[in-house]
Amino acid sequence: MANGLQFLPFNTLYQLTADLTAGSLDQADQVLLVPDLLNYWLTGTAVAERSNASTTGLLNVRTREWDDPLIDRLGFDRRMFPRSSTRAPGSAPCCPTSLARSGPAAPST
């Protein structure tokens, strides 16, 4: 396998394939893994952190980018996968909505 992962039914690749077959992805705009979703909620920026994206089975280990030929072959919409980045989640500034929900910053001691 070009991605270096074992064939295990709990890998994201197989979960997304099952979701695609069941029609569960029809309403989806993007695919975000849990850490990336939390980062999106906090910053408003959809990014796939590269080390986390590598666990999906959809990242090319040589280019360290999404494996577009594999994504196409499996029938996924490539636009559902945000750009990958080595930038750590949470390194973007918090979005105003998140700041408003969390309240004022606690004073540092």
Model confidence at 50: pLDDT above 80: yes
Residue at 43: amino acid letter: T
Cβ atoms of residues 63 and 8 within 8 Å: no
Beta bridge partner(s), residue 84? 48
- Confidence band of 57 (pLDDT split at 50, 70, 90): confident
Structure-model confidence comparison of residues 97 and 85, the more confident one: 85
| pTM for the predicted model, two decimal places | 0.70
Identify the bridge partners of residue 49 per DSSP, sorted by sequence position.
85
